Amino acid sequence: MKKAEIEQRLSSYGDFLLKRAMVASGKERYFISWVRRFLQNEDSFKGSKWEDMLPQYLEYLERDSHIASWQLDQAHQAVTLYFQNFLGAPGTVVEMPASSISDEEVVVFDAAKVLGDLKEWLRIKHYAYKTEQSYMKWCKRFLSYSRECFPTLEEGTVVISPELIKDFLAQLAIKGKLSKSSQNQAFSALLFVCRNVLRMELKDMEKSLRAKAGRKLPLVLSPLEIKNLLSRVSGTRGLILRLIYSSGIRLSECARLRVKDLDFEQNLLFVRSGKGDKDRSTLLAEQVQGDLKKHLAKVRKLHDSDLASGFGEVFMPGALGRKYPAACREWGWQYVFPSAKLSVDPRTNVTRRHHVSESSIQKAMKKAVRDADLVKPASVHTLRHSFATHLLLNGVDLRQIQDYLGHVSVETTMIYTHVVKDLRNPAISPLDLLDQMTSAGR
């Protein structure tokens, strides 16, 4: 490619970065510089596609001792944006305008109607309220981004296209430095909008736009650390943390526990409509049962007081509230850990006593970690990881642990075998054996 042609393309690429706000302000010239360097050395790389040549380019840059690792990441992002977003055809070099969206592809929508239809579809498909809030948030951010890219549109209208979605996700990853899980959550929200609200297909982009996350080992506390941690928190918050560790349930599952889900005779705890809308049973430790029964006695008095005041209703899942109109006041349906205050349901505007706030439990856990002087960044979910790992250390079958945790695939549960491998009879470092090895004349 001739130098004049390269500079012409790079000029258009710079305009694209500015118009789409893809990178932090002032960083555009560095992205242009990395792409220029790639195009100037393109003939020395093997392969016909840019995806094949990119690793060779990064190896070439790595040989320069003056280039730091963060600059290699920036070069990787610059070349990927150039081919995947700017040129718009991965693996193929084609002539494109400065905007990767042509006039024929621009479709204008009413922003308010898109948001309203999205909320309606989420409720039709019975998505969780938290998921609804998350998807609405990402959709609003995308619509705001679209307005920035097309400021001349009529007020209240936005452009939505597959290419613009691709640019938005790239902006989140590069400029916003979003984690891979958050990036995938944003993509899932926009994919839901395209499929259900706009009837727009993303085609092969559905696979290429998802961020690939590497395998991460879960953080696990030792039994001694767990004992030290749980001794630092008392009352209802302490009971909740002990219950989560002893049963391996998620924080949201613990908060939504109903009285009828506790089986003291069989030492079982039932999780209803857990992740994936699945039911399961898990362990109910004998050590928590005494405190749990005392706690339920207090909750029963609170419920009786609510009934006397004309309240006492609890949220009923699905259509059960219409099918059994009196069940919402029955003792068995009440939350095991109710909120201290009555509140208004944001969906129905009915005043009820909701379950305990998850954030209050997270705050209690954070304080306990600090008081126990633990250096590990443990969260409430760490107790669930520790439950599974400690069961494995005690010889419990992997398939049984899978059932307790509610994992669909045993491969998900097998991640704990890697943690156990490090905890059970770890190898001795050669440094610790150095004296022994030298004295033996090895």
Active site residue 390: no
Catalytic-residue membership of 275: yes
Q: Which of 237, 256, 352, 407 is catalytic?
A: 407
Residue tagged active-site, from 82, 145, 245, 416: 416
- Which residue type is seen at 8? Q
Residue of 147, 275, 329, 376 with catalytic role: 275
Catalytic residue (choose from 232, 384, 385, 390): 384
Known catalytic residue: 442? no
- Give per-residue burial for 290-319: e unless 16+ CB within 10 Å, then b: ebbeebbeebeeebeebeeeebbbbbeeee
Question: Is residue 407 annotated as part of the catalytic site, yes or no?
Answer: yes
Buried b (16+ CB within 10 A) or exposed e, 256-282: bbbbebbeeeeeebbbeebeeeeebbb
Two tokens at 259? 């009285």
126 is catalytic: no
Determine which one of 242, 250, 352, 385 is catalytic. 250
Distance, in Å, from the CA atom of 34 to the CA atom of 14, rounded to the nearest integer, reads 12
**Are residues 41 and 57 in contact, defined by beta-carbon separation less than 8 angstroms?**
yes
Task: Decide if 260 is catalytic.
Answer: no
Catalytic center residues: 250, 275, 381, 384, 407, 416
